[in-house]
């Protein structure tokens, strides 16, 4: 059984999609061990508690230095013997020590079709603002492994979503979440939990039976 830590910062609708996936059986062989938020007021923490999942608030603001925060986050994950870290709307930059310790065991959901509209500075509504400003007709979401390059790790799943002429960033964000993010993040976890994929030369491939 894959022991998962979900790292969040906000509303937690992607977390909810994972919880629902585990409860309805579309994700198998995985269990959420803990939900960790850098924001103690994040509604995601309430969602965890409602489903009897341990909810931990760990904020850089509560530590004298960033290094001490990074160390606390590292210890929390290592002490729990976490198998997979899922960044589900997590705004904290993951320290290198965690990226190395959990190599190929951290995944992130990004609200565009990588390599478009990604990298440093592309988060939240900004991603959709840039997509609309460029006039793309299709956007979507990507689940990828996390390495030291922002949004640069191997891509696991992508799903496209149509852009409409009168979209606002908020409308597009909602459509991308509903039609793409909430579907592909649970799917990616299920693939990993059931040992269905592997990374070969930086690319994710379906394992041959």
**Which residues would be at the binding site for ligand GRF (CB under 6 A)?**
8, 10-15, 44, 88-89, 109-111, 177, 181
Nearer to ligand GRF, 158 or 194 (CB): 158
Catalytic site residue 202? no
The helix/strand count (H/E) of the chain reads as 7, 9
To ligand GRF, the closest distance from the beta carbon of 111 in angstroms equals 4
Residues 170 and 111: their CA atoms lie apart, in Å, by 12
Q: Which helix (H) or strand (E) holds 110?
A: strand 106-110
Task: Look at residues 7, 31, 8, 9 and name the one whose alpha carbon lies nearest to residue 19.
Answer: 31
Name the DSSP class of 61. Answer: G
Q: Which is nearer to ligand GRF, 71 or 150 (CB)?
A: 150
Q: What separation in angstroms does the CA of 163 have from each of 75, 138, 141, 175? A: 42, 5, 13, 9
For ligand GRF, which is the closer residue by CB, 71 or 183? 183
Q: Min. distance of Cβ 77 from ligand GRF in angstroms?
A: 19
- In the set 110, 128, 144, 202, the catalytic residue is 110
Q: Which is nearer to ligand GRF, 103 or 178 (CB)?
A: 178
Within 13 Å, how many C-alpha atoms sit on residue 185's CB side?
34
For the chain, percent helix, then strand, then coil, each to nearest 5?
35, 25, 40
d(CA 57, CA 190): 26
Report the SS3 class of residue 200: strand
Closest residue by beta carbon to ligand GRF:
89
Report which DSSP code applies to 180.
I
Nearer to ligand GRF, 11 or 60 (CB): 11
Say whether 183 sits in a helix, a strand or coil.
helix
Active site residues: 110
């Amino acid at each position: 059984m894959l022991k998962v830590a979900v790292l969040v910062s906000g509303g937690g609708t992607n977390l909810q999609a994972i919880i629902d996936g585990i409860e309805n059986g579309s994700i198998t062989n995985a269990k959420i061990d803990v939900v960790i938020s850098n924001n103690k007021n994040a509604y995601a923490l309430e969602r965890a508690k409602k489903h009897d999942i341990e909810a931990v608030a760990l904020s850089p603001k509560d530590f004298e230095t960033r290094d001490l925060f990074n160390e606390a986050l590292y210890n929390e994950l290592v002490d729990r013997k976490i198998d997979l870290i899922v960044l589900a709307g997590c705004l904290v930059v993951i320290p290198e020590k965690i990226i190395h310790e959990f190599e190929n065991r951290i995944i992130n959901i990004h609200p565009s079709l990588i390599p478009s509209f990604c990298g440093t500075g592309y988060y939240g509504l900004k991603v959709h603002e840039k997509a609309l400003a460029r006039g793309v007709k299709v956007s979507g979401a990507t689940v990828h492994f996390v390495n030291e390059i922002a949004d640069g790790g191997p891509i696991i799943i992508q799903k496209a979503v149509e852009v409409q002429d009168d979209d606002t960033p908020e409308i597009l964000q909602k459509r991308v979440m509903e039609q793409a993010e909430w579907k592909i993040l649970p799917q990616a976890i299920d693939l990993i939990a059931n040992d269905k994929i592997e990374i070969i030369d930086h690319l994710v491939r379906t394992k041959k039976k």
